[in-house]
Structure 1
Amino acid sequence: MALVAIVGRPNVGKSTLFNRLTEERRAIVDDQPGVTRDRLFGEVEWTGRTFDLVDTGGLVPRSAERFDAAIREQVVLTLGEADVILFVVDTLTGTTEPDQEVAKMLRRAEQPVIVVANKADTEGRKNDAAEFWGLGFDQMFPLSSVNGTGTGDFLDAVVAALPDEPERDESDDAPRIAFIGRPNVGKSSLANRLLGQTRSIVTEIAGTTRDSVDARVAWPSGGEDEEPREVVLVDTAGLRKKAKVKENVEFYSTLRTQRALQACDVAVLLVDAEQGLEGQDARVLREAAALRKGLVIVVNKWDLIEDKETNTARDMERGIREKMGLLDYVPVVFASAETGQRAGRVLDIALRVFDERRKRVPTARLNEVVEKAVQRQSPPSYRNNYVRIKYASQIRTEPPVFAFFANHPQGVKESYRRYLENQLRAAFGFEGVPLTLSFKQK
């Protein structure tokens, strides 16, 4: 999917534009400059075309202050990935020296650059926006991110500037398995081990993989008479270049991870055995679950753990599951990409999760399980009324979605939804697969 990057100096309304285009209130919006410290990633659909959108922090050229320097480098990294660049300026202030400096950087970009003259809420400000033609770019659109004025023509131009989408083979149903995780946890090493050949640069330095690598492998099926199964491995490792600022390593890794998550069926999160599951790992895992991808956790570099005892793996897995919270349905594998220990098992389990994600439960059997679950524990009352779940049906696979029809669907609280989900998992499996339970009026 094509990537569009929003750049510009602080306080010109980049985050507001991001929210307008993605129709979400995910970015921090504030009158103080420099508020957006975390770049955000979203998806935009316009006239049948979908593209990824990344919001960056404010770009401050020639600033020696560390935070501004970090933002500048992050934007440069983003431009290395983007297909179209949105250069946001402010009609209230007009062209400033920082705008000129940003324009100088962007004029060297190979990608199309579209100038967004933001805060053009009135006819007068739209007229004032004409001065931004002086920045030297072919396209400029005055608009208001706050009320949406002018965004239609602007989005038409963005879509027209996107590169052609590659043709997709609709018959290609090969599972797409993405390796995700922090830099230097062994994503490339595991991909190479499974491929049986070096397809990525593997070194001890974090972030040395120049591009994400999609590679196909014919993986042996379980039975002797079964044909090998074609699998697409997505290696999402690190950086185009070694960044000077630590935050940029995380930013670029996050950008690549986000894009890989959108394209994959199953996300395999690699965790360093010596460090365990950290906060960043848990956030990525929750993000993959929110996208309803299949999930597997691999504790890599298990060979480096010395003095292992009988219960070492069990105790570490228990600690990981405690940090995962509600994602306790995710399988955990202890492996070593370096030695090959259980490397094959990683892919076997990922494929099992892929199949579980495609599973369809017979309606009669589903209602039998739901009926027993309700008899065992009834839903709490809602406004002094009994809540009755009358019927259930699986309405989708990949990912699985279940519809429950009730007399008071709004009365089914989160705790009871969780109870029903656990009952479904106990009866039907769905290992490593996020489930969606939808409650409708009957």
Structure 2
Amino acid sequence: MSRQPVVVVVGRPNVGKSTLFNRLTRSRRALVHNLPGVTRDRIFGEAERLGGGMVTLVDTGGLLMEDEDTFVPLIRGQAESAIRDGDVVIFLLDGEAGPIPEDREISDYLRGLGVPVVPVVNKGDRKGVDLQALEFHRLGIGEPVVISAEHGTGMDLLWDALDLHLPPAGEVDEPEEENDDQIPVAVIGRPNVGKSSLINCLLGDERLLVTEISGTTRDAVDTVLEKDGVRYQFVDTAGIRRKGKTDRGPEVLSVVMARRYLERADLCLVVVDADEGITNQDAHVAGYAWEAGRAVILVINKWDLVKDRGLGRERLEDQAGQHLKFMRHSPRIYLSALNGRGVHKLFPAMQNLHQAYRRRTSTTNLNRILTEAWEARPPAMSGKRAPRLYYCSQVRHSPPHFVLFTNLPKSPHFSYMRYLENVLREALGLDGVPFRVIIRGRDR
């Protein structure tokens, strides 16, 4: 199987790398880049090419070539590692500030690595940036592409420039099947919501621990549990239970650790505190799971501390609607890891969700479902032309990606796309699964 192409985004701090990353990956919210230390690590996502097919996008920490900050060598090392693994580099520049000495140093640094580079001038919507962009020619790394990451202008030109250095776009590769008989699960949440208690409750009550196996991160240990013939691999439970690594601040740590666990999981249990309620930080951590393309179950722990269950449930549902709108279709389980009540509901929920996450739907069945939905509620006319659905197919699973071919790919309103997503979610049982519906144009 061919490797998915890798595009790496580098540049000075605060030139708009996170904004461009979110634009290309179509993230539903901004990444948490205002927490100290968070964007010092590489962030991975997936972006769809204009001609079809996917690339892995890597957002690196801001490059500073000369600085006394002790983090800078680490940031540069992370970025260089990503660059050497990539197929092409986006060197993002600040069009409003114009070229500065640090840009020259970074361009020299990139030339020394011998990798394909596409210089991209951001903030092209600001006054005078087009003229300023001409100055970036002097960096000697090629013709700059002018964009606005904030407003999305110039994205087609950017992809045209990237495609010159990428293999031809084709069908999306299927992910490798690993441990198909095992369900990898990450347990994440902000500090003190009961992650450790939940893991210990699952392991202690069942006493069906199979083995301790080495994880992929240093000093990490995964724990495998078998229940009713199904094996669950809880990712880096030793890391979850570690208590002494909060020197950098518990809020930052919860986000950084969550990202690490999610790289190796299919499912994610997002744990929140029923007594304290659902907070913005819960939304930040949960958002990483959703944007990473992981199936999510919302675990509302410490349910035993809520005295009025009726009012408590109403309050938590309101908070979930406010902070976790992107998870409105995810399963929610109220439990107490302290006394074990409700914990048994997790196992069938995880099994059902994992089956949906890996679900493959035949083209015949998919076309029947969407054709009926299209005919029952046709999209609005585009001028004098009626949008037509030619056919659709599933191009990927884990999570599912569906492609619809129409004569007017830019015509369907986002509300109509939401209608089609709801039809698929109900017909295929995809609650809690971050599937995607992609529209592409095709002549009859």
Quickly name the TM-score band, shorter chain normalised.
0.5 to 0.7
Give distance in 2, aligned partners of 1:382 and 1:409.
11
Aligned partner of 1:327: which letter? M
CA separation of 1:404/1:52 partners in 2, compared to 1, >3 Å: closer, same or farther? closer
Within the candidate set 44, 56, 61, 1:55 is matched to 61
Contact 1:357 1:399 in 2 (8 A): yes
Q: What is the Cα deviation at residue 354 of structure 1?
A: 0.6
State the TM-score, normalized to the length of structure 2.
Answer: 0.61
Residue 99 of structure 1 aligns with which residue? Answer: none
Whole-angstrom distance in 1 between the partners of 2:390 and 2:180: 39
Q: For residue 174 of structure 1, what is the amino acid of its counterpart?
A: Q
Give yes or no for contact 1:367–1:391 (8 Å, CA) kept in 2: yes
Say whether 1:301 aligns with 2:286.
no
| Residue in structure 1 matched with residue 199 of structure 2 by the alignment | 191
Counterpart Cα distance in 1 of 2:190 and 2:294: 18
> Which residue is 1:237 aligned to?
240
> What TM-score results when the alignment is normalised by the length of structure 1?
0.61
1:285 CA displacement = 2.3
Q: What is the alpha-carbon distance in structure 1 between the residues aligned to residue 304 and residue 259 of structure 2?
A: 29
Offset at residue 417 of structure 1 (A):
0.6
Q: 1:261 to 1:416 in 2, by over 3 A?
A: same
Closer/same/farther in 2, CA of residues 311 and 361 from structure 1, 3 Å limit: farther
Indicate the structure (1 or 2) with the bigger Cα radius of gyration: 1
Q: Give a deviation string over 1:119-162, Cα, whole Å, max 9, x none.
A: 3368xx78xxxxxxxxxxxxx97999994989xxxxxxxxxxxx
Q: 1:392 to 1:267 in 2, by over 3 A?
A: same
CA distance in 2, matches of 1:434, 1:85: 29
Letter in 2 for 1:188: S
* Residue equivalent to 2:369: 369
Query: How far, CA to CA, are the matches of 2:24 and 2:390 in structure 1?
Result: 36
Q: 1:39 Cα deviation (Å)? A: 2.6
SS of structure 1 residue aligned to 2:290? helix
Q: Secondary structure at 2:327's aligned position in 1?
A: coil
Alignment match, 1:120: 105
TM-aligned CA deviation for residue 395 of structure 1: 2.4
Matched residues in 2 for 1:169 and 1:416: separation? 34
Q: How do 1:352-363 and structure 2 match up within 5 A?
A: 352-363=352-363
Spell out, residue by residue over 1:285-325, the C-alpha distance to the aligned partner (whole angstroms, 9 max, x if none).
233222221110000011111x2244643552344134322
Contact 1:335 1:342 in 2 (8 A): yes
Q: Secondary structure at the match of 1:297?
A: strand
Rounded Cα–Cα distance in structure 2 between residues aligned with 1:51 and 1:438: 18
- How far is 1:353 from its partner? 0.7
SS at the partner of 1:256? helix
Q: Does 1:253 align with 2:238?
A: no
Asked if the contact 1:301/1:337 (under 8 Å) is kept, the reply is yes
**Match of residue 215, structure 1, among 216, 220, 223:** 223
Which position in structure 2 is the counterpart of 1:334? 334
Contact 1:186 / 1:337 at 8 angstroms: preserved in 2? yes
Q: Which runs of 5+ in 2 are unaligned?
A: 1-10, 26-32, 47-55, 81-101, 121-139, 142-175, 210-217
Alpha carbons of 1:36 and 1:251: their partners in 2 closer, same or farther (altered >3 Å)?
A: closer
Shift of 1:217: 0.7
**Aligned AA for 2:409?**
P
Q: Name segments (4+ residues, structure 1) moved above 6 Å.
A: 15-19, 21-26, 50-53, 56-61, 140-146
Residue aligning to 2:189 = 181
1:205 corresponds to: none
Q: 1:55 corresponds to which letter in structure 2?
A: G
Secondary structure of the residue aligned to 1:384 is coil
Aligned residue for 2:387, secondary structure, equals coil
**1: CA distance between counterparts of 2:44 and 2:265?**
15
State whether residues 118 and 144 of structure 1, in contact with CA within 8 Å, keep that contact through their aligned partners in structure 2: no
Whole-angstrom distance in 1 between the partners of 2:190 and 2:370: 40
Partner of 1:39: 38
Percent identical pairs in the alignment equals 27
Q: How far apart are residue 341 of structure 1 and its match? A: 1.1
Counterpart of 2:285 in structure 1 is: 284
Paired position in structure 2 for 1:265: 266
The one-character-per-residue Cα deviations of 1:5-54 (angstroms, maximum 9, x if unpaired) are xxxxxxx93566978x989889xxxxxxx999563232499xxxx99876
The residue aligned with 1:13 is: 12
SS at match of 1:381: coil
Aligned residue pairs: how many? 329
Report if aligned partners of 1:303, 1:336 keep a CA contact under 8 Å in 2. yes
Which segment drifts farther, 296-305 or 188-197?
Answer: 188-197
Are 2:395 and 1:410 equivalent residues in the alignment? Answer: no
Provide the secondary structure at the position in 1 that maps to 2:182: coil
Q: Aligned to 1:364, what secondary structure does the other structure show?
A: helix
Distance 1:296 1:409, change over 3 A: same
Could you tell me which amino acid in structure 2 is paired with residue 272 of structure 1? Answer: D
